[in-house]
């Protein structure tokens, strides 16, 4: 399993107050996993701390699926060099 996918699944599970269905890169964070805006912010904060990155407020609407979140994390890490 991809290291980023593993991390995102861990972030999702730690911020959900419920049992989550199977998580794939195609899983829609709101529609499939039932995340609300607070859970999304908490998940992003976890990722920022874990990867030592900053996700700007205007980037948040781009995170619709697990795959979108992974792509953003990879892009941010690539920018770090």
Residue spans per domain, the chain:
3-80
Bridge partners, 65 (sequence order):
28
Which residues are CB-contacts of 41 (< 8 A; sequence separation ≥ 6)?
A: 60
Q: b/e per residue, 59-73, with b = 16+ CB within 10 A?
A: eeeebebbbebbebb
Superfamily of structural domain 3-80: ACP-like (1.10.1200.10)
| Reported pTM | 0.92
pLDDT, tens only, 10-61 = 999 998 989 999 999 999 999 999 999 999 999 999 999 999 999 999 999 9
* Distance separating alpha carbons of residues 8 and 20, to the nearest angstrom: 13
Which residues are CB-contacts of 12 (< 8 A; sequence separation ≥ 6)?
A: 20, 23, 29, 33, 35, 43, 66
């Amino acid at each position: 399993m991809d290291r980023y996918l593993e991390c995102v699944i861990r972030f999702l599970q730690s911020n959900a107050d419920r049992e989550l269905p199977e998580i794939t890169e195609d899983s829609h964070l709101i529609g499939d996993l039932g995340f609300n805006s607070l859970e999304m912010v908490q998940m992003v904060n976890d990722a920022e701390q874990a990867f030592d990155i900053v996700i700007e407020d205007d980037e948040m609407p781009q995170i619709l699926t697990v795959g979108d979140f992974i792509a953003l994390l990879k892009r941010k890490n690539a920018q770090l060099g």
